Amino acid sequence: MLDFLGVTENWSAIENIPWTQRWAFSDESTLEPVSLDGVTFTGRVHLDGEAEPVELDIQKSASAEEANILIVSCTGLPEGRHAYEIYSVSESGNQHRLISGYIGVIKSIGKLADDTRTYAFRTLSIRLPGNVTRQIRLEWNSCTIASVSAQQALKAAGQAHTDAETASQAAKTATDAAATAAGRAEEAEGYAGSAWASKRAAADSATAAGTSAANAARDAKSAHDAKTAVESLAATWPETVSNGKQQIIEARNEAVTAIQDKQADSVLAVGRASQTAQQNIAGARTDAVAAVQTAQERAVGAITPLVQRAETAKEAIDQAERRINTAATNATTAATSAANSATEAQQALAAIPQVDTAGNMTLAGGLTANGTVNANGGVNIPLAVGAVTDTAAVNRFYTSGLAGAVSALVQPIYLNSSSITVAGSISKSSKGTLAGLTQRFSVGAASAGSNAYGSAVIPLIGPNGQFNYSSVCGFSLAVNATAFAKFTFGIGRGSKTNRTGLTMDSYSMIPGNELAVNHGEIIDVTINTPYDTVRKGYEIRVREIFYVSSVGHWQVKTTTVFLPVGHNELMPNGLNRLIYMQSGLPSTAVREEKAALYMELGGGSTNTLFKIASLRGFIAFEAGTGVSTLIIDARNEKTYALSADAGTGTRHLYSNGLTNPTYHALEAMAVNAIEEEETADFEDINIPL
C-alpha cells in the first residue's frame, strides 16, 4: 500500500484550455513501477474568489500493464492564481496529502521562442513514512518546447486562411461564369426564335445558330462544373477550418506544457533556495536557543541551591517563631493554671477536717474515723464477679476487644490469578507466586537506545455481600516493584475501559461507554522519577478522574507529592501498600473530598506512612464492590530484568453510624506529603508505545 508525504509543486495553464497529464510512479532507487492497487486519489482546485472548488478528474490507467499510471485531467480554468491539492486515500480510509500548490492561469501567449530543444520528463521524490531510505518516484511526461508546435499551428492557420481565400475567389469566378452562360443561353434562344421567324434568312442564320448553340452548351457545362466545384469546396470548408482550429488548440496545449516546465524549474529553484535559507535560519535559531537554554540551566543550577538555602532558613525562622509564640502562650497558660491550682489547693486544705491530737477526725454529717484512711486498707470497692482487678489487664482486655471489632469489619481481597493478562515486555512469573495470594511479574531488560515497557491487568475478587447499597469505605492493596511503575485502580460502580501498551503518561483506565455519566472514580499513582539528590527524596504523581454533576463533565485532579526518604530507600522498591480510606459519604452534586490515599513504606526511613492525595470517595448506592481491577504499568531502564509484585489486600466497611475509625487513625499518624494540587477538565491521553 502506498502512503505519501505531501510535497509542493506549482503549475501553469492557459485560460479556458483543458489539460491532461499522465503520472508514472516508480521506486526511486530501482526505477521499478509501483502499483497503485488499494489507493484512490482525489483532488480539487480552489478558484480565487469562488466558494465552490473545481474537482479534478483523476483516473487510473485501464491497462493492466500500466498499474503505476495515473491520469490527471482538469477543465479550462479562468485567469488568475488558484490553489490546488491532490490526496491519496488508502483502503482503510486514511487520507494523505500527495501534492499541493498553485496553478497560475495566464490570459494569452506572448512572443513565441524559436527553440527546438527537448526537455526532460518532470519528476518528484516522495518519501514513505517509517522508511526514510526508500522513496517513490513520481514522473509525468513533458514535451518539446511549444514554439515549434505553435509555429506549425500558425502556418496551418495561415494555409487554412489562404485556402479559404482561394475557395472564395473560385466561388466568385464560378458565379460570374454561370451568369455569362445564362446570358449566352438567352442570346441563343433569341437567335433560334429569329431563325424560326425568318425562313428567308434560315439558310444564312442556321450555321450561325448552330455555332452559337455549341458555344452555349460548352459554356453551360463550364458553369455546371464551376457550380460543382463550389459545392464541394463549401462541403469541405468546415472540416478544413476545424482541422486548423484543432491544430491551434494542440499547439496551445504544448505551449502550456513548455511554460509549466520552465515555471516548475524556476519554482523548484526558488523552493530549494528558500529551503536552504530556512534551514540556515532554523540552525542559527536552534544554536541561539541552545545557548540561551544552556545559560539558563547554568543560572538555575547556581541559583537553585541559594534559593533552597533561603527557603530552609526561612522555614527555620518560621519554626522558631512558632515555638516562641507557643512557649509564650504555654507560659501564660501555666501561670494562670498555677494560680488557679494554688487557690484550689488552699480551699481544699481549708475544707479538710482537722485531726485532733488523738488521731481522730470528725467528718461532716457526724461520721467519725479512727486511724489513717487509705484505698487499700480502709476502702475497698469490689468489681463485678469474674473481672480482673488489675487496671493494666483491664485496659489490655478492652484494647483487644476493639482490635477484634475492627478485624470483624475487614474482608480479604484476593487476586483472580486465572484471569490476569499481560502485554508488552512483562510476563507472569512462577517465582514468588502463590495462586490467589501473590503474583510476581518479570519486566524485560531494556534494549540499546530504548526502555522496556509492559502492562499487567489483575482482576480482584473476594467476599463482598450487598444488595442495592454498599458500606465499603476503604481498602488496601499490597504492591511493589523494582522498576519505575504506575498503579491504576478503579473504584465504585460504572463501567471502565482498561488499556495496555501505552506510555507512562497515558491513562491505562478511563470511564467506559464513551465517558458515560457515573459516580465511580479512577485513580493512578506514578513513581517514575529518579532520586532527587538536592531535596533528598522522590516525586510522585497521583491522578483522580471523577464526574461532578454540577459541572456536567469528567474532571481530573493531579496531585504532586514528594517523599522525603534517604537514598538507601529506593522507590518503588520500598513501597509496601497503597491504602484508600474515607470518613463519610460525599454529596453527589458537589463531591467534596471525604477520602484520602496513603502510601506505606517498608524502608529504613523514620516515617513509613504518608498521605499522598485527598480524594472524593465512594457514594453509598454507587460504590458496588469497591475495587475490582488493578493495572500495573512498568518501565525498565536497566539492561537486566526487573520485577513487579501484587498481593492480597483488605476491604474495609463502615461501623455503626457510618463511621470509619481507620480513616481517623491514619489521618492522625500519616505525614502529609502533598505539595501541589490542580483540577482541570478531563482530556484523554492515549499514546501508544
What is the domain partition of the chain in residue ranges? 7-142, 147-198+211-307, 410-433+452-496+567-672
Distance CA 235, CA 316 (A): 113
Could you tell me the pLDDT band of residue 232, with boundaries at 50, 70 and 90? low
Radius of gyration from C-alpha coordinates of the chain? 51
Could you tell me the pLDDT band of residue 30, with boundaries at 50, 70 and 90? confident
- Is residue 580 within 8 A of residue 614, CB to CB? The reply is no
Distance CA 110, CA 574 (A): 84
Q: Does residue 110 carry a pLDDT above 50? A: no
Predicted TM-score (pTM) of the model is: 0.47
3-state secondary structure 332-371: HHHHHHHHHHHHHHHHHHHHCCCECCCCEEECCCCCEEEC
Distance CA 272, CA 566 (A): 57
Q: Does residue 612 carry a pLDDT above 90? A: yes
**Residues in contact with 530: Cβ distance below 8 Å, sequence separation at least 6, in sequence order:** none
DSSP per-residue string spanning 562-596: EE---TTS-TTTTEEEEEEEESSPPPTTT----EE
pLDDT digits (tens, 9 = 90+) for 70-104: 899 998 888 888 898 888 887 777 778 888 888 88
Distance CA 460, CA 471 (A): 18
Question: How distant is the alpha carbon of residue 51 from its chain centre?
Answer: 31
pLDDT digits (tens, 9 = 90+) for 237-263: 445 445 555 654 565 565 445 545 555
**Residues in contact with 13: Cβ distance below 8 Å, sequence separation at least 6, in sequence order:** 19, 74, 77, 103, 104, 105, 106, 256, 260
**Segment among 356-365, 469-478, 587-596 with least mean pLDDT:** 356-365
Residue at 636: amino acid letter: N
Of 477, 478, 524, 530, nearest to 502 by C-alpha is: 524
3-state DSSP: the chain helix, strand, coil percent, rounded to 5? 35, 35, 30
Q: What is the pLDDT of residue 143?
A: 38
Rounded to the nearest integer, the mean pLDDT of the chain is: 76
pLDDT digits (tens, 9 = 90+) for 626-672: 898 999 999 999 999 999 999 999 999 988 888 898 999 999 999 99
CATH of region 7-142, choose from 3.30.1390.20, 2.40.40.20, 2.60.40.10, 2.60.34.10: 2.60.40.10
Distance CA 320, CA 328 (A): 12
Stretch 465-471: mean pLDDT, rounded? Answer: 82
Could you tell me the pLDDT band of residue 420, with boundaries at 50, 70 and 90? very high
